A and B are shown apart, each in its own frame.
Chain A
Amino acid sequence: MNVEETKARASPREFSPKDDLPEEYRKAATRMLEFHANSEIMGAYLERPFIRKAPSLERKMAFSAKVQDEIGHGQLLYRAAESLGVKTRDEMLDDLAEGKGKFLNCFHYPLESWVETPMIAFFVDGAAMRRQATLKKSSWEPYAHAMDKICFEEGFHVKHGESILGELMNGSKKEQEMTQEAFDKWWPRILQFFGPTDDQSSHHDFAADVGLKVMTNDELRNAFLNTYLPKAKKYGLEIPDEPRIRENDDGTYDVVEDDLDWDEFFTIAKNDYEPGVGQIEGRKHAQDAVEWVRNALDEQEAIAAGGQSPQAAD
């Protein structure tokens, strides 16, 4: 299939590993999936310390279940990505460790205090879920199938995150103030989740034409603001004056782009932002620490495949 034929056939769940797809498609789909998979993993590492820091047994259990889910989402997505035949799972995981793999802007920032957890667990997971729900219509069938499973689980994440937010905003004055502070800090980053406005996004056109991207950045940001902005207000959070958000008559929003820090955003996109660099390193250490497990599994796989492992032959 050439690019034109691919564009003509593009529709939800249309292409599977059986199809002979052009390299442009395979590369674009791999880039999206790898970014998505890396983000699941880096997000999980960010939330992991809160299994320990959670204030109650229920929250501890929920965070532990959530982190486990996110790592699983990463694995599902690496599978969907490697079935495109461009990169293997090992290559993607190594690139992530070496600081070459890209991932979501929000996961380059440190997550230090309990009051910050709903910024990720409610707002970022909510934004991610908005986007993921549209990707159930991806033209790459393995991606759409991964989304079925992931969206099935995400409802728990988002509601759990919201329940923490509600608890904090109904808590002591101090808790409310600290949560508001965390919100002020995270809100611009969350608005940047969907990337720059459409005219600045370089990969969109092709990805949209071949059915990999189903909604534009602007449409997704609007849909997110339509539901999550009222939620924030409902819990008594004040929306910061900047970045300015204008509500249009048709229910859409314009975010004043100049009020957002795009230098920081693009520094992050290059993996050059300092806290993010430390977080990439931290994950690399974790990956290195369990190298012996991967080696043992590889050896086992070689034996199961019928051959004898080199060590066993000695």
Chain B
Amino acid sequence: MIWEVFRQNQAGDYHTHCGNVHAPDREMALLFAEVQHGRRKPTNSLWVVPQEEIGEVDTEDAKFGGTTNKSYRFARTYNVEPAAEEVEASEKELTEAERKRGEA
């Protein structure tokens, strides 16, 4: 049975996918995950999830974010100085996301 593994660096962080292991049950999957993924990289917690339990939709099936110009969803579109640092931080994140979408 294949188990997908998600690692969390530090408490409070997100668990992110880091690979998978072949194991007969959850307990063994956790052990293998620990050995394979928790030894060097900083690890606070690991999740294992049976591969067949994972649902997926990808770019073959979906047009993520639509196919028309949706620049109105992005802060950069509005030509005003960000009112506060948190607005500026958000604009940066949004612009970064917009840029990466463009590259994809």
Question: Beta-carbon contacts of B13-35 to A below 8 Å, as 1s and 0s?
Answer: 11000000000000000000000
Residue A62 lies at the interface, judged by CB distance under 8 Å to chain B: yes
Asked if A14 and B11 make an inter-chain contact with CB atoms under 8 angstroms apart, the answer reads yes
Q: How far is the CB of B77 from chain A (nearest CB, A)?
A: 8
Closest to B69 in A: A61
Contacts of B90 in A (CB 8 A): 129, 151-156, 158
Residue of A145, A152, A231 touching B14 (CB-CB under 8 A): A145
Contacts of B78 in A (CB 8 A): 156, 159-160, 162-163
Asked if B94 and A227 make an inter-chain contact with CB atoms under 8 angstroms apart, the answer reads no
Contacts of A163 in B (CB 8 A): 78-80
Report the interface size for chain B: residues with CB under 8 A from the other chain: 26
| Residue among B11, B83, B85, B91 facing the most chain A CB atoms (10 A cut-off) | B83
Residue A12 lies at the interface, judged by CB distance under 8 Å to chain B: yes
Residue of A14, A144, A156, A166 touching B94 (CB-CB under 8 A): A156
Asked if A130 and B11 make an inter-chain contact with CB atoms under 8 angstroms apart, the answer reads no
How many A-B residue pairs lie within 8 Å, measured between CB atoms? 91
Residue B57 lies at the interface, judged by CB distance under 8 Å to chain A: no
Asked if A155 and B73 make an inter-chain contact with CB atoms under 8 angstroms apart, the answer reads no
Asked if A126 and B11 make an inter-chain contact with CB atoms under 8 angstroms apart, the answer reads no
Residue B86 lies at the interface, judged by CB distance under 8 Å to chain A: yes
| Residue among B70, B85, B87, B97 facing the most chain A CB atoms (10 A cut-off) | B87
Residue B64 lies at the interface, judged by CB distance under 8 Å to chain A: no
Asked if A162 and B83 make an inter-chain contact with CB atoms under 8 angstroms apart, the answer reads yes
Asked if B91 and A13 make an inter-chain contact with CB atoms under 8 angstroms apart, the answer reads no
Q: How far is the CB of B96 from chain A (nearest CB, A)?
A: 10
Residue A186 lies at the interface, judged by CB distance under 8 Å to chain B: no
Contacts of B75 in A (CB 8 A): 155-156, 158-160
Asked if B72 and A155 make an inter-chain contact with CB atoms under 8 angstroms apart, the answer reads no
Q: How far is the CB of A118 from chain B (nearest CB, A)?
A: 11
| Residue among B11, B78, B79 facing the most chain A CB atoms (10 A cut-off) | B78
Question: Beta-carbon contacts of B47-87 to A below 8 Å, as 1s and 0s?
Answer: 00000000000000000000000101111011110111111
User: With A65-B73, A156-B73 known to touch, is A13 a contact of B11 (CB < 8 Å)?
Assistant: yes
Asked if B72 and A61 make an inter-chain contact with CB atoms under 8 angstroms apart, the answer reads yes
Given contacts A152-B94, A158-B82, A163-B80, 4 further A-B contacts (CB under 8 A): A154-B87, A158-B84, A162-B80, A163-B78
Taking Cβ atoms with an 8 Å cutoff, the residues of A that contact B are 12-14, 16, 58, 61-62, 65, 122, 126, 129-130, 132-133, 141, 144-145, 151-156, 158-160, 162-163, 166, 223, 227-228, 231
Taking Cβ atoms with an 8 Å cutoff, the residues of B that contact A are 11-14, 70, 72-75, 77-80, 82-91, 93-94, 97
A to B CB contacts below 8 Å, 23 in the list: A13-B11, A61-B70, A126-B84, A129-B86, A130-B84, A144-B12, A145-B14, A151-B89, A152-B93, A153-B94, A154-B86, A155-B75, A155-B82, A155-B89, A155-B94, A159-B77, A159-B80, A159-B87, A162-B83, A163-B78, A227-B84, A228-B83, A228-B84
